[in-house]
Amino acid sequence: MFECVDVEALESKIGAWLRKRAQHDHDGTLRLAIDGKVLRGVWTDKNERFTLFSAMIHCEGITIAQVKVPPTTNEITQVKALLDHVTPREGERVIVTMDAAHTQHDTAEYIAGTRGFDYIMTTKGNQPTLRDAVVNTTVPLVKNAPDHTVRERNRGRINTWETWISDADGIDFPYAQQTACIRRRTYDLDGQKTRQEYAFIITSLSAGDATAVDLNDDVRNQWGIENKSHYVRDTVWHEDAQHVNNGTAPHVKATLANTANSLLRLYGHTDIKRTTEWISRNPLRALTLLVTQRN
């Protein structure tokens, strides 16, 4: 039934409908995390991986755009195809966060130049020259007190995030305005350090538009697409266990899972598993979500 659906039209309609009802942040900014997900139970006739690439609103966890990655390429080449579907409201700023694979000149040019959005990117070994430039700019700052520190106790451990921020003068990367170093340390409950790692960030946001607090929050919220979208699709909807391979059916089923997740989150339900179990015991409970308009 799903294998002949015009999935691009479906994604466009649902994405626009959800975007209309989703909230932007209190400062009038739409913050999007972009990331790809391999559907492990789905393979094409040529036994190629089936990957979907999506854009999710940070805090609300609502997916407003998704595209299939052609088997002959990867998600790095699909940023334009994905974000072309995102239309900001009048006067709304858009900030796009992503993992290190997307730290590319062409991506920065498209996001900040063509679209007029802002980006926050992580630099790693796939861009060694850029990473070295960011490291050389930010590492000397670590001998000073951090510009921002947050400490959290969770799941039997204590995590701290310390952020140092600097301008990006002299760094050859499109529209770069600032760099940052984020040091994450993990301790056990006795105060013994068990892990330490660094993230090196580059962004088109100026000092007037993003502080160390903002960059720390946005980088951490990028990881939210794994927990709020990908993890839910696997554990609630068992996406990776499904072997649906005909036509557009795998994509459509993922779109419907995204829609269900997003609709529940629109109405304040953050425990998707428990909420879907509650609805399954009386499907009429879903009617409130389907007929009530949130503007």
Residue 54: φ, ψ to 5°: -135, 165
Percent of the chain with pLDDT over 90: 60
**Amino acid 128: pLDDT:** 95
Binned at pLDDT 50, 70 and 90, residue 239 comes out as confident
**Amino acid 2: pLDDT:** 63
**Amino acid 249: pLDDT:** 81
- Whether residue 45 is predicted with pLDDT greater than 70 in this model: the reply is no
- Whether residue 293 is predicted with pLDDT greater than 60 in this model: the reply is no
**Amino acid 224: pLDDT:** 87
- Whether residue 168 is predicted with pLDDT greater than 90 in this model: the reply is yes
Query: What does the pLDDT look like over 116-153, one tens digit per residue?
Result: 999 999 999 999 999 999 999 999 999 999 999 999 88
**Amino acid 1: pLDDT:** 59
Q: What is the spatial distance between Cα 115 and Cα 292, in angstroms, rounded to a whole number?
A: 33
Domains of the chain, first to last? 7-291 (3.90.350.10)
Q: What is the spatial distance between Cα 13 and Cα 11, in angstroms, rounded to a whole number?
A: 6
Closest to 44 in 3D by CA, of 70, 6, 65 = 70
Query: What does the pLDDT look like over 248-274, one tens digit per residue?
Result: 788 888 899 999 999 999 888 889 999
Closest to 202 in 3D by CA, of 162, 163, 168, 169 = 168
Q: Is the pTM of this model over 0.95?
A: no
Residue 33: φ, ψ to 5°: -100, 130
Using CA atoms of 244, 247, 250, 252 in order, give the dihedral in degrees to the nearest 10: -140
Q: What is the spatial distance between Cα 195 and Cα 206, in angstroms, rounded to a whole number?
A: 31
Greater model confidence, 104 or 252? 104
**Amino acid 20: pLDDT:** 85
CA distances 251 to 3, 44, 69, 71, 98, Å, are 9, 12, 11, 14, 22
Mean of the per-residue pLDDT values of the chain: 89
Query: What does the pLDDT look like over 69-80, one tens digit per residue?
Result: 998 899 999 999
